[in-house]
Chains A and B, each alone.
Chain A
Amino acid sequence: MAELLRVEGLTKRFGEFTAVSRVSLEFQKGILTSIIGPNGAGKTTLINLITGSLHPDEGRIFFNGEDITRLPTDKRVKKGISRSFQVMNIFPRLTVFKNVMLPVLARLGKSMRPFSRLEDHPDALAEVERILKGVGLWERKDSIVGELSHGDQRLLEMSIAVASEPEICFLDEPTSGMNPIERVKVLELVKKMAADGRTTFVIVEHDMDVVFSLSERIIVMARGEVLADGNPAEIKENQQVRDVYLGEEL
């Protein structure tokens, strides 16, 4: 499997507290990976470091062999890294359509056009239609996003994340706050998007049913460090992981 992303000795401190400590990992193309761990394990901080929301105190990040450690967020997105957020992060005053139109225009290099109308870009319009039909939100394209259900907002957020056609996409707790029906919808969508092979997904999740049903690889973090790294069967059998995190759950 080709290496897509590699982090080496990544460390992030907030004052005296070390949120991520000397983490070294590789992410291979096409392998659906989950990062799990107790609250405060450093999962979201690790994603923030990789995606550029935070800058590391130590360590380096390589994407497709290129050092991107100091690259700003927007440039990392252009390289092919995207994410969704733990706390819903969409454009609440805009319509569903415009929420997805923006990343598509940005990807096509048209977001700076000052005097053309949105309907002057048929390639972008067709792409938005394809994405929204794919997640089942096309019928609601003219709705203001703030009026959607929590589950639909999550679906939309994932649509925004993949609309930039990333090579790797980090989904931070994509099913949080969802009812079982919405959760199934999101899981099916992740499976579908992962199966088409365009994007490699890395998921941070607390729900072990979700993690073990989806993942090909699981990384367990605790106290800012990588505790274990392996396939679902290996993680289930790992005594250290059971002691620290999984307990008797499995």
Chain B
Amino acid sequence: MQLINKQKKPKNIRKLLKTATGCLLGASSLANADDTFLNGWGTDLPVIGDPEVREFLSGWETDIAILGYSEVDRVSALEPAISTSKTFDDESVVSLKFVLDTLTGASPNGASPSNEVQTFTRPSGAGSYQTTPGDTPLDDTFKDTRYSFSGSYQHDLNRMDKLVWGGNASKEFDFFSTGFSLSYLHDFNNRLNTLSIGIGGEYDIISAKDGAPIALSQMQATTEEQAKNDGSENRVLGELIVGLTHIVDRNTIAQFNYGYGQSSGYHNDPYKVTSVVDDITGESVAGESLSGTYLYDSRPDTRSKHSFYGQLKHAFGEDSADISYRYMFDDWGIDSHTFDLTYRKNFDDWYIQPSIRYYIQSAADFYRHSITESEVSSIGDYLSSDYRLAEMWSTTLGIKVGFKTPNGNHNSVRFAYYYQDGNTSPSDAIGIQKNYDMFPTLDAFIVQYTYSF
């Protein structure tokens, strides 16, 4: 009788047992919950005897995901991730996340296309690469793996107030970052509103191979010595976010955030250069040891950002729509607008969710696609040809489908297409530059699969 009853239980009881925190159905049921959880990982795990340890290990809700990102002719990345969270008896929540990011492919180095073959020295100084005439120079040195970890702990101070503590760290070949955050959330007005205040800090260490090249110095050939700054560079970031959540009505919720960020320290990209071209022809100008003249990236050592974010979510019967807007501006002269619209169509056991994002930014004050020979002596302290600081716009089209597998667990698949464009034919293009794309247009495809249990 007992056996038949068990078989007749609904299939997703496993998930319900998992989400029960220290279920009070009795010791035997607690054992069931643990076994189900541990068995979910495979029966080769040792059975843990200590009941307190078993209780701690049960009740975690986990997502495993893998993201594939691929730009046409440029960078590709594969990112597996695992994220898990547990709500404890006192309603405190611990969340942990680990992401691996493997990057390969080529990235624009900032130099402009030319009518001759261009030779560049690799960041290590030990090799070089060449660009065909007419092509956007791409540096294909980047094969990197990034490991990142983040965790948070949320707990109630009382019925209306909570604190969220966060920490993170990430490491890649030439970069290390660590940070923390602390947020205070206060519900008021009968829980129709929530006020949030958060602060965050981050410390980054940039360790370019053999040191970072001196800003605005020329890129030298492999046979010559490249003047570099000894050791590694660093920077510190501080962030403040103030937010307000507002329940408009039974079907509508809104969020407003103001964010302020201040960073200080090394902001240059040690691998990017700006081409110096002839005032009349737009052709490469001979450098000290290379056939072209390329000046290393130089950015201010401080940056101040402000952002304003608004989001609205509204339920249309069983479906819902989400619209958001962010306005950002900084003291580098960049300002940007981001629009995001997502529609969720819910069915009984699955859903489909199309989305669209539009982004536009203005150029940084010190961004130039290239400079002329006569400008070299008067450029000032800062100069960058990083396309990410250029006048640019992008569109993302996405679609996500979520469904439950027979065992009752959630799965989702997401596809997106990202298109980025800028001034490919700027008005100040000189001579041969008028024949080339002066902004490296980008097409990228994104695929993500997530499994929750």
- A, B from the same assembly: no
List residues of chain B with CB under 8 Å of any chain A CB.
none
